[in-house]
Amino acid sequence: MKLTILGCYSATPRAFTNPTSQVLDIRGNLFLIDCGEGTQVQLRRFKVKFSRIKNIFISHLHGDHFYGLIGLISTFRLLGREAPLHIYGPKGIQEAIELLLKLGNSYGGYELIFHELTNKSSELIYEDDKVTVHTIPLEHRVYTNGFLFKEKLGERKLDINAVLNYDIEQCYYRNIKLGKDVPNKAGKVIANNLLSLDPEPPKSYAFCSDTAYTEKIVPIITNASVLYHESTFLEEHEHLCQKTKHSTAKQAATIAKQARVGKLILGHYSTRYDNIECFKKEAQTVFSDVYLADDGKEFNFS
C-alpha cells in the first residue's frame, strides 16, 4: 500500500494548503478518497496517473470534501475516458453531480455509476480479488462515513530451495503458491507447508475524517495497520469540538491507542495554527507512532 496526500487541511483552500483528498494505491489499484477543491490540480502536480482511478470514495457532502469531484468528472470526459467510474458517497451525491452535468450539457462519454450510502452501521461496499472496503460510521454534522481498506491474504511464497530439494517440477509452482500439496517427480505427494512460506500479513488502512471523538469506531478499526484520523484542533480549543463535530490531536491519539493500530496519521488541521508540529507533539503524549499528513506527502505501508 502507498498513500499520497493531495490535501489535508480543513475548510477553505489557501495558496499553499489544500482541502481533503488522498490516493491509496493497493497493489497497483488506485482509490481516490475524498475530492476537495483543487484535487485534479494536485493529481497532476504529484504525477498521479489518475486515468487509472476507477473508484472514488466520498466521506460526506461538505464542500471541502467533494467540491472538486465535478471538475474531475468533467476533465475525464474531455480526456476521452471510456472506462466506467464508480462513486461511493452519501445519498444525494448523484443528484448533485447529475444536475451540474445536465446544466453544463457535459454528461456523456463514459458511464458514471453511483453507489449511494445511507446505512448507519458498518457495511461492505466494495470488494475485488485484492481488497475489501467497509464503511466506518462517523459522528459529524451531516451523514458521514470513513472507509476501511483491507488487503486480502496474498498467495503463498515459493520456497525455491525446498522445491528443488524435493524435486518438484516447475509446472506445479502455481499450485504451490495457491496452497496445494503437489507430487514430486517420483510421484510422492509433498505437503504444501514444506514447499512454501506464509504470505506477507495483509495490511489495512482506516480513513476517519471528519468526526467528533467517538469510541464506537474502535471495534471496526482495531489492529488496522495505519489510521488516518482528523485532528482539526489542539486540546486548548477542545471546546470547539462539540459545536463543529471535530476532534483534537489528543483525541485522535486516544482512538489509535484503544484500537491498537500500527501507525497514526494526523490531518484535517484547522488553518488557525501556524505550525502543524504541535499536533504531533500533543498526540505523542498518548500514542507514540504518530505521523503528520501534509500536501504531497507519501506514506509507504511496508
Q: Do 169 and 207 fall within a single domain?
A: no
pLDDT score, position 12: 81
Q: Do 143 and 263 fall within a single domain?
A: yes
Q: Of 176, 197, 218, which one is at a domain's C-terminal end?
A: 197
Q: Of 142, 167, 197, which one is at a domain's C-terminal end?
A: 197
Count of C-beta atoms within a 10 Å radius of residue 235: 13
pLDDT score, position 13: 82
pLDDT score, position 25: 97
Q: Do 119 and 217 fall within a single domain?
A: yes
Q: Of 169, 197, 225, which one is at a domain's C-terminal end?
A: 197
Strands (E), 118-200: 124-127, 131-137, 145-151, 157-158, 182-183, 189-190, 196-197
When divided into structural domains, the chain yields a total of 2
159 is in an annotated binding site: no
Q: How far apart are CA 220 and CA 224, in angstroms?
A: 9
62 is in an annotated binding site: yes
pLDDT score, position 270: 96
Is the bond preceding residue 198 a cis peptide, omega within 30 degrees? no
Q: Do 113 and 166 fall within a single domain?
A: no
Q: Do 226 and 77 fall within a single domain?
A: yes
One pLDDT digit (tens) per residue for the chain, 302 residues: 999 999 999 988 888 899 999 999 998 999 999 999 999 999 999 999 989 999 999 999 999 999 999 999 999 999 999 999 999 999 999 999 999 999 998 877 899 999 999 999 999 999 999 999 999 999 999 999 999 999 999 899 999 999 999 999 999 999 999 999 999 999 999 999 999 999 989 999 999 999 999 999 999 999 999 999 999 999 999 999 999 999 999 999 999 999 999 999 999 999 999 999 999 999 999 999 999 999 999 999 87
Q: Do 133 and 229 fall within a single domain?
A: yes
Q: Do 61 and 188 fall within a single domain?
A: no
Q: Do 12 and 135 fall within a single domain?
A: yes
Q: What's the pLDDT tens digit per position in 70-111? A: 999 999 999 999 999 999 999 999 999 999 999 998 877 899
Q: Do 34 and 167 fall within a single domain?
A: no
Could you list the active site residues? Answer: 64
Q: Which domain holds residue 164?
A: 157-197
pLDDT score, position 137: 98
Model-level pTM? Answer: 0.92
Q: Do 133 and 58 fall within a single domain?
A: yes
For 197, left (φ over 0), alpha (ψ -120 to 50), or beta? beta
114: CATH: 3.60.15.10
Q: Do 172 and 89 fall within a single domain?
A: no
198 is in an annotated binding site: no
Query: How far, rounded to the nearest angstrom, does the alpha carbon of residue 87 sit from its chain's CA centroid?
Result: 14
129 is in an annotated binding site: no
Q: How far apart are CA 218 and CA 215, in angstroms?
A: 5
Q: Do 175 and 106 fall within a single domain?
A: no
